Amino acid sequence: AQSVTQLGSHVSVSEGALVLLRCNYSSSVPPYLFWYVQYPNQGLQLLLKYTTGATLVKGINGFEAEFKKSETSFHLTKPSAHMSDAAEYFCAVSDPRTGTASKLTFGTGTRLQVTL
Amino acid sequence: DTGVSQNPRHKITKRGQNVTFRCDPISEHNRLYWYRQTLGQGPEFLTYFQNEAQLEKSRLLSDRFSAERPKGSFSTLEIQRTEQGDSAMYLCASSDRGGLGYGYTFGSGTRLTVV
Protein backbone atom coordinates (compact mmCIF):
# COMPACT_ATOMS: atom_id res chain seq x y z
CA ALA A 1 0.00 0.00 0.00
CA GLN A 2 1.11 3.52 -0.65
CA SER A 3 0.93 6.48 1.69
CA VAL A 4 1.85 10.14 1.75
CA THR A 5 2.91 12.27 4.71
CA GLN A 6 2.81 16.03 4.54
CA LEU A 7 4.71 17.59 7.43
CA GLY A 8 3.03 20.73 8.69
CA SER A 9 -0.69 21.18 8.28
CA HIS A 10 -0.20 24.96 8.25
CA VAL A 11 2.72 26.94 6.87
CA SER A 12 2.97 30.72 7.03
CA VAL A 13 5.46 32.76 4.99
CA SER A 14 5.93 36.42 4.23
CA GLU A 15 5.31 37.68 0.74
CA GLY A 16 8.54 37.35 -1.21
CA ALA A 17 9.94 34.62 1.04
CA LEU A 18 10.80 31.06 0.06
CA VAL A 19 7.98 28.55 0.11
CA LEU A 20 8.83 24.99 1.18
CA LEU A 21 6.09 22.40 1.56
CA ARG A 22 7.23 18.94 2.57
CA CYS A 23 6.04 15.62 1.23
CA ASN A 24 7.34 12.16 2.02
CA TYR A 25 5.93 8.99 0.56
CA SER A 26 5.94 5.31 1.28
CA SER A 27 5.86 2.92 -1.64
CA SER A 28 7.34 -0.43 -2.52
CA VAL A 29 8.21 0.85 -5.99
CA PRO A 30 9.15 4.31 -7.24
CA PRO A 31 5.78 5.98 -7.57
CA TYR A 32 4.38 8.68 -9.74
CA LEU A 33 4.22 11.88 -7.67
CA PHE A 34 1.99 14.93 -7.88
CA TRP A 35 1.31 18.26 -6.25
CA TYR A 36 -2.16 19.77 -6.44
CA VAL A 37 -3.47 23.13 -5.24
CA GLN A 38 -7.00 23.73 -3.99
CA TYR A 39 -8.59 27.12 -3.50
CA PRO A 40 -11.63 27.45 -1.23
CA ASN A 41 -14.71 25.65 -2.51
CA GLN A 42 -12.95 24.61 -5.67
CA GLY A 43 -11.60 21.41 -7.13
CA LEU A 44 -7.97 20.42 -7.42
CA GLN A 45 -5.58 21.94 -9.92
CA LEU A 46 -2.42 20.13 -10.92
CA LEU A 47 0.75 22.10 -10.15
CA LEU A 48 3.29 19.56 -11.35
CA LYS A 49 3.98 15.86 -11.65
CA TYR A 50 6.88 13.44 -11.72
CA THR A 51 6.58 10.20 -13.64
CA THR A 52 9.98 9.40 -15.11
CA GLY A 53 13.08 11.24 -16.27
CA ALA A 54 14.48 14.41 -14.74
CA THR A 55 13.98 14.47 -11.00
CA LEU A 56 13.60 18.26 -10.80
CA VAL A 57 10.17 19.10 -12.08
CA LYS A 58 8.93 22.58 -12.88
CA GLY A 59 5.26 23.40 -12.71
CA ILE A 60 2.87 26.26 -13.04
CA ASN A 61 2.97 29.54 -11.10
CA GLY A 62 6.73 29.27 -10.47
CA PHE A 63 6.56 26.10 -8.36
CA GLU A 64 9.00 23.24 -8.63
CA ALA A 65 9.65 19.95 -6.84
CA GLU A 66 12.50 17.48 -6.70
CA PHE A 67 12.07 13.72 -6.48
CA LYS A 68 14.66 12.29 -4.09
CA LYS A 69 14.44 8.53 -4.07
CA SER A 70 16.98 8.11 -1.26
CA GLU A 71 14.93 10.37 0.99
CA THR A 72 11.53 9.22 -0.35
CA SER A 73 10.65 12.87 -0.65
CA PHE A 74 9.01 15.20 -3.15
CA HIS A 75 9.11 18.64 -1.52
CA LEU A 76 7.46 21.60 -3.23
CA THR A 77 9.27 24.93 -3.42
CA LYS A 78 8.81 28.41 -4.80
CA PRO A 79 11.55 31.04 -4.52
CA SER A 80 9.27 33.97 -3.79
CA ALA A 81 5.77 33.71 -2.33
CA HIS A 82 2.91 35.80 -3.65
CA MET A 83 -0.33 36.59 -1.90
CA SER A 84 -2.19 34.61 -4.55
CA ASP A 85 -0.33 31.45 -3.49
CA ALA A 86 -2.41 31.22 -0.32
CA ALA A 87 -4.30 27.94 -0.67
CA GLU A 88 -4.33 24.27 0.36
CA TYR A 89 -1.65 22.10 -1.22
CA PHE A 90 -1.86 18.35 -1.57
CA CYS A 91 0.86 15.86 -2.39
CA ALA A 92 -0.31 12.65 -4.07
CA VAL A 93 1.16 9.39 -5.28
CA SER A 94 0.14 6.66 -7.65
CA ASP A 95 1.48 3.19 -8.26
CA PRO A 96 2.78 3.07 -11.83
CA ARG A 97 2.17 -0.67 -11.90
CA THR A 98 -1.58 -0.08 -11.80
CA GLY A 99 -1.36 1.12 -15.34
CA THR A 100 -4.76 2.21 -16.45
CA ALA A 101 -6.31 2.30 -12.95
CA SER A 102 -4.49 5.52 -12.12
CA LYS A 103 -6.02 6.25 -8.72
CA LEU A 104 -4.33 8.81 -6.53
CA THR A 105 -3.47 8.55 -2.84
CA PHE A 106 -3.37 11.99 -1.23
CA GLY A 107 -1.71 13.43 1.82
CA THR A 108 -3.72 15.40 4.37
CA GLY A 109 -2.72 18.71 2.88
CA THR A 110 -0.81 21.82 3.92
CA ARG A 111 -2.53 25.16 4.17
CA LEU A 112 -0.21 27.93 3.00
CA GLN A 113 -0.73 31.39 4.43
CA VAL A 114 1.09 34.35 2.88
CA THR A 115 1.44 37.50 4.96
CA LEU A 116 2.48 41.02 4.04
CA ASP B 1 -14.96 25.52 -21.41
CA THR B 2 -14.97 21.75 -21.65
CA GLY B 3 -13.74 20.90 -18.18
CA VAL B 4 -15.24 18.39 -15.76
CA SER B 5 -18.67 19.55 -14.62
CA GLN B 6 -20.33 18.50 -11.37
CA ASN B 7 -23.87 19.18 -10.26
CA PRO B 8 -25.17 20.31 -7.93
CA ARG B 9 -22.40 22.40 -6.37
CA HIS B 10 -24.03 22.23 -2.98
CA LYS B 11 -26.59 19.88 -1.48
CA ILE B 12 -28.16 20.02 1.96
CA THR B 13 -30.25 17.03 2.91
CA LYS B 14 -31.86 15.57 5.98
CA ARG B 15 -30.47 12.42 7.48
CA GLY B 16 -32.07 9.36 5.96
CA GLN B 17 -32.80 10.92 2.59
CA ASN B 18 -31.30 9.75 -0.69
CA VAL B 19 -29.13 12.05 -2.79
CA THR B 20 -27.69 11.80 -6.28
CA PHE B 21 -24.80 13.71 -7.78
CA ARG B 22 -23.84 14.00 -11.41
CA CYS B 23 -20.47 14.29 -13.10
CA ASP B 24 -19.95 15.17 -16.76
CA PRO B 25 -16.35 14.38 -17.75
CA ILE B 26 -14.32 15.94 -20.52
CA SER B 27 -15.93 14.50 -23.62
CA GLU B 28 -12.95 12.60 -25.01
CA HIS B 29 -11.98 11.11 -21.64
CA ASN B 30 -12.86 7.45 -21.20
CA ARG B 31 -11.86 7.19 -17.54
CA LEU B 32 -13.83 8.64 -14.65
CA TYR B 33 -13.07 8.68 -10.94
CA TRP B 34 -14.95 9.62 -7.78
CA TYR B 35 -13.21 10.85 -4.64
CA ARG B 36 -14.51 12.01 -1.27
CA GLN B 37 -12.88 14.79 0.73
CA THR B 38 -13.81 15.43 4.34
CA LEU B 39 -12.89 18.59 6.21
CA GLY B 40 -9.18 18.88 6.83
CA GLN B 41 -8.32 15.78 4.86
CA GLY B 42 -7.07 14.97 1.42
CA PRO B 43 -9.35 13.38 -1.15
CA GLU B 44 -9.90 9.63 -0.82
CA PHE B 45 -10.51 7.39 -3.81
CA LEU B 46 -14.00 5.89 -4.03
CA THR B 47 -14.40 4.27 -7.43
CA TYR B 48 -13.20 4.22 -11.03
CA PHE B 49 -14.84 3.65 -14.42
CA GLN B 50 -13.31 2.88 -17.74
CA ASN B 51 -16.02 3.66 -20.25
CA GLU B 52 -19.18 2.16 -18.70
CA ALA B 53 -17.37 -0.53 -16.69
CA GLN B 54 -16.83 0.05 -12.98
CA LEU B 55 -13.39 -1.48 -12.53
CA GLU B 56 -12.50 -0.66 -8.95
CA LYS B 57 -14.35 0.20 -5.76
CA SER B 58 -12.84 1.33 -2.49
CA ARG B 59 -13.87 -0.24 0.78
CA LEU B 60 -15.05 3.28 1.63
CA LEU B 61 -17.91 2.72 -0.80
CA SER B 62 -20.43 1.10 1.50
CA ASP B 63 -23.61 -0.64 0.39
CA ARG B 64 -25.44 2.68 0.65
CA PHE B 65 -23.31 4.10 -2.14
CA SER B 66 -23.77 3.26 -5.80
CA ALA B 67 -22.16 4.74 -8.87
CA GLU B 68 -23.08 4.31 -12.50
CA ARG B 69 -21.79 5.46 -15.83
CA PRO B 70 -24.33 4.48 -18.45
CA LYS B 71 -23.06 4.61 -22.02
CA GLY B 72 -19.65 5.63 -20.78
CA SER B 73 -20.48 9.31 -20.68
CA PHE B 74 -21.71 11.08 -17.54
CA SER B 75 -21.68 9.37 -14.16
CA THR B 76 -23.96 9.50 -11.14
CA LEU B 77 -23.14 8.81 -7.52
CA GLU B 78 -26.10 7.98 -5.28
CA ILE B 79 -26.08 7.81 -1.52
CA GLN B 80 -29.05 6.10 0.09
CA ARG B 81 -30.19 6.72 3.65
CA THR B 82 -27.68 9.49 4.19
CA GLU B 83 -25.88 9.78 7.51
CA GLN B 84 -24.14 12.78 9.06
CA GLY B 85 -20.81 11.09 8.39
CA ASP B 86 -21.52 11.35 4.67
CA SER B 87 -21.07 15.12 4.83
CA ALA B 88 -18.11 15.84 2.58
CA MET B 89 -17.00 17.23 -0.74
CA TYR B 90 -17.48 14.68 -3.52
CA LEU B 91 -15.00 15.19 -6.34
CA CYS B 92 -15.08 13.74 -9.81
CA ALA B 93 -12.10 13.50 -12.15
CA SER B 94 -11.61 12.22 -15.66
CA SER B 95 -8.66 11.26 -17.81
CA ASP B 96 -7.96 9.94 -21.26
CA ARG B 97 -6.40 6.64 -22.23
CA GLY B 98 -3.03 7.97 -21.11
CA GLY B 99 -4.18 7.95 -17.50
CA LEU B 100 -2.26 9.96 -14.96
CA GLY B 101 0.25 11.36 -17.35
CA TYR B 102 -2.31 13.05 -19.52
CA GLY B 103 -5.20 15.28 -18.72
CA TYR B 104 -6.25 14.00 -15.31
CA THR B 105 -8.72 16.78 -14.52
CA PHE B 106 -10.84 17.37 -11.43
CA GLY B 107 -14.23 19.01 -11.28
CA SER B 108 -15.15 21.64 -8.68
CA GLY B 109 -16.98 19.10 -6.56
CA THR B 110 -20.35 18.72 -4.88
CA ARG B 111 -20.45 19.69 -1.22
CA LEU B 112 -22.91 17.55 0.71
CA THR B 113 -24.20 18.58 4.11
CA VAL B 114 -26.36 16.09 6.01
CA VAL B 115 -28.39 17.66 8.81
User: From first to last of its 116 residues, what are the pLDDT tens digits of chain A?
Assistant: 789 999 999 999 999 999 999 999 998 887 889 999 999 878 899 999 998 888 999 999 999 999 999 999 999 999 999 999 999 999 999 877 765 447 889 999 999 999 99
Nearest to B108 among A43, A49, A108 (CB): A43
B12: part of which helix (H) or strand (E)? strand B10-13
B70 contacts chain A (CB < 8 A): no
CA gap B68, B65 in Å, rounded: 10
Question: What radius of gyration, in Å, describes the C-alpha atoms of chain B?
Answer: 13
CA gap A14, A30 in Å, rounded: 34
Contact A106 B43 (CB under 8 A): yes
User: Residues B26, B104: contact at Cβ < 8 Å?
Assistant: no
Q: For B39, name the nearest residue in chain A, comparing CA atoms only.
A: A108
Nearest to B109 among A43, A94, A101 (CB): A43
